[in-house]
A = this chain, B = another copy of it.
Amino acid sequence: MIKAGVVGGTGYSGVELLRLLAQHPQVELAAVTSRPEAGRPVSAAYPSLRGCVEVAFSHPDKAPLAQCDVVFFATPNGVAMGEARRLLDAGARIVDISADFRLKDVAEWERWYKMKHAAPELLAEAVYGLCEVNREKIRDARLVANPGCYPTTVQLGLLPLVEAAAVDLDHLIADAKSGVSGAGRKLEQSLLYAEASENFAAYGVTGHRHWPEIRQGLAQLAGREIGLVFTPHLVPMVRGIHATLYGRIVKELDFQALYEKRYAKEPFVDVMPAGSHPDTRSTRAANVCRIAVHRPAEQGERADTLVVLSVIDNLMKGASGQAVQNMNLMFGLPEATGLEQVAVVP
Contacts and interface: CB of A to CB of B under 8 A. Distances in A.
B237 A309 contact: no
A296 interface: yes
How many copies of this kind of chain does the complex include?
Answer: 4
Contacts of A235: 200, 235-236
Nearest to A18: B342
A272 B47 contact: yes
Contacts of A290: 47, 50
A121 interface: no
Contact of A275 (B50, B206, B297): B206
A42 B22 CA distance: 30
A262 B307 CA distance: 32
Interface stretch (A185-193, A252-260, A324-332): A185-193
A146 B228 CA distance: 37
A278 B193 contact: no
Contacts of A162: none
Interface in A112-162: none
A90 interface: no
Interface residues of A, number: 96
Contacts of A278: 47, 201
A34 B299 CA distance: 36
B187 A284 contact: no
A284 B15 CA distance: 14
B180 A228 contact: no
A189 B199 contact: no
Interface stretch (A72-80, A91-99, A240-248): A240-248
A258 to B, nearest CB: 18
A229 B296 contact: yes
Given A177-B200, A205-B307, 15 more contacts: A23-B342, A46-B345, A50-B270, A175-B175, A181-B194, A197-B236, A199-B237, A200-B311, A205-B277, A207-B299, A225-B302, A229-B307, A231-B296, A235-B235, A344-B344
Kindly list the 8 A-B residue pairs having the minimum CB-CB distance in the complex, ordered from nearest: A227-B302, A207-B298, A201-B279, A48-B343, A48-B345, A193-B196, A199-B281, A47-B282
Interface of A: 12, 15, 19, 22-23, 46-52, 170-171, 173, 175, 177, 179-181, 185, 187-189, 191-203, 205-207, 211, 215, 225, 227-231, 233, 235-240, 242, 244, 246, 248, 270, 272, 275-286, 288, 290, 294, 296-300, 302-305, 307, 309, 311, 315, 340-346
29 contacts: A19-B343, A19-B344, A46-B282, A47-B278, A47-B290, A48-B284, A48-B286, A48-B345, A179-B200, A181-B194, A185-B189, A193-B193, A193-B238, A198-B281, A198-B284, A199-B281, A200-B237, A200-B240, A200-B242, A201-B311, A205-B309, A206-B275, A211-B299, A229-B246, A229-B307, A230-B296, A231-B296, A238-B346, A344-B344
